[in-house]
Amino acid sequence: MAYLAALISGLLAAISFPTIVAGRHLPNLSWLAWVALVPYWVGIRESRGRLLAFSTFLLGLFWNGLTSYWIFNALYFNGQLSWPASLGVLAFMSVTMGALLALFVCFGLSLSRRFRLPAVLVFPAIWVFYECFRNYAPFGGYPWSNLGYSQASWLTLLQSADLFGVYGISFLVVLVNVVIGEVLDSWIHRRRMPRQPVFAAIALLLAFLGYGVWRLRQVEASVSRAPQLAVGVLQPNIGQQMKWKTDLNDYIQGLLFKMTQDAIAQGADFVIWPESSLPTALPLGLTNLPAMSGFSAPVLLGALSLQQNPLLTRPMLYNSAVQVDAGGRLAGRLHKQHLVPLGEYVPLKDLLWFVEPIVPRIGDFRTLIPKELLRVHGHPYGVVICYEDLFPEISRNFTRMGATFLVNITNDAWYGDSSQLEQHLNFSRET
């Protein structure tokens, strides 16, 4: 029964995030995150050894696999990898994440029992340690679907992320799950209901919400006094299979140019293109783009930056955000700092040898840490590219450098009509 309960919890945790099944969007089920782990907790609260380890593994396997199934879409439909290899990559990632969760939970709960610490408080802390760890490893970090991200639509609760990050929200969500599980287990076995954890969970939830109400009022007052900048955001909807067809370069560039002119005509002071939207690579030493000299407002575009190196057989590529000022002058670039594993590089190449064929097609990308911010109309800002918005340290560094706002540009066409698109949008709101 513990195994079945773990599978149910994994499913409930997965669908608490935006979910698309066979092209159909499920309704907002974010409330499920507050009870998703209850079956698992009731099933394992007194368990040890193999039962605890395998139940936790199944929970992590289902939760991570179901929220990241779109990895298969990217590799098979757009990466041109075979379906067994694409499925193997998804399975490898899901198994790894499930095994890590089992390792953290088994080790953490064993310590709590040894030192007689209350499991109801220790388990949420273990969960947060696990989420923090996967911000950095494996594969350079894969923090997709941290449980706190499920609450992105609850704006009042979301405000606490500026104090504790998404991890604080994850702690609260897991704590409420465990407390509900304890109450349910007490009712089933007709034992005395634990009151202190219940009061602690209620008090913490009210504190988070109280802070959120106060913070929202503060933000609204600050926004009303802030200088205004009219921004035009372009969404050209170029399919991934169309993107790098050279015979479509003129069409894609013409579409973006027309959309830019339309945005400026409607009053945009600043126009933003998507990630890697320019269909040609820009040499790093380039200082001017004559083709864009006709725009009367600055444009932030996504493009590949290219640098030749005589010591290498292939040019060095960077995924970049490039600001082009009025007149076509390149005002600055920021390069992607955290690459997508199995998309922009292959981690553990010796182990994942079967993924290597995708790399020549996409490019083996490099990273560069920014030394200065971009600036538009006197406002310094930073750019997080694609899923860099999942790594809070990147956004935090831009803020410390003096950024007054952040821009995220992304190309999610890789993932087709999958849950990834809405999930990514939600996750970006919490970092």
Q: How confident is the model at residue 39 (pLDDT cuts 50, 70, 90)?
A: very high
Question: Which residues, 6 or more positions from 246, have their beta carbon under 8 angstroms from its beta carbon?
Answer: none
To the query of whether residue 275 is one of the catalytic residues in this protein, the response is: yes
**In the predicted structure, residue 379 carries a pLDDT above the cut 80:** yes
- Beta carbons of 62 and 15 less than 8 angstroms apart: no
Residue 279: is its pLDDT beyond 50?
yes
Alpha-carbon Rg for the chain, nearest whole angstrom, is 24
Residue-wise pLDDT tens digits, 176-219: 999 999 999 888 888 887 789 999 999 999 999 999 999 999 99
Interstrand relation of 299-307 and 270-272 (parallel, antiparallel or unpaired): parallel
Q: How is domain 229-428 classified at the architecture level of CATH? A: 4-Layer Sandwich (3.60)
Catalytic residue among 131, 182, 275, 430: 275
Domain positions in the chain: 2-224, 229-428
Residue among 321, 322, 234 nearest 271 (CA): 234
Annotated catalytic residue within 336, 344, 388, 430: 336
Q: What pLDDT is attached to residue 356?
A: 59
What does the alpha-carbon distance between residue 324 and residue 271 come to, in Å, rounded to a whole number? Answer: 10
Q: Is the pLDDT of residue 357 over 90?
A: no
Give backbone dihedrals phi and psi of 318, rounded to 5 degrees, phi first.
-130, 140
pLDDT of 274 > 90? The answer is: yes
CA neighbours within 13 Å on the CB side: how many for 427? 25
Give 348's pLDDT tier (boundaries 50, 70, 90). low
At residue 350, the pLDDT reads 61
Centroid of chain to Cα 293? 35
Three-class SS state of 310: coil
Run of H or E including 85: helix 83-114
Residue in 388, 76, 372, 413 with CA at minimum distance from that of residue 240: 413
**Which residue bears the tokens 């879409």?**
73
Instruction: State yes or no: is 336 an active-site residue.
Output: yes
pLDDT in tens, 118-156: 999 999 999 999 999 999 988 788 899 999 999 999 999
Choosing from 182, 344, 386, 388, which is the catalytic residue?
386
Q: Hey, which of 24-28, 210-214, 222-226 has the most confident mean pLDDT? A: 210-214
Cα–Cα distance measured from residue 57 to residue 3, given in angstroms and rounded to the nearest whole number: 9
Model's pTM, two decimal places?
Answer: 0.92
* 239 confidence band (pLDDT: 50, 70, 90): confident
Check whether 362 has a pLDDT greater than 60: no
Decide: helix, strand or coil at residue 405.
strand
**Of 96-105, 241-250, 378-387, 395-404, minimum mean pLDDT range:** 241-250
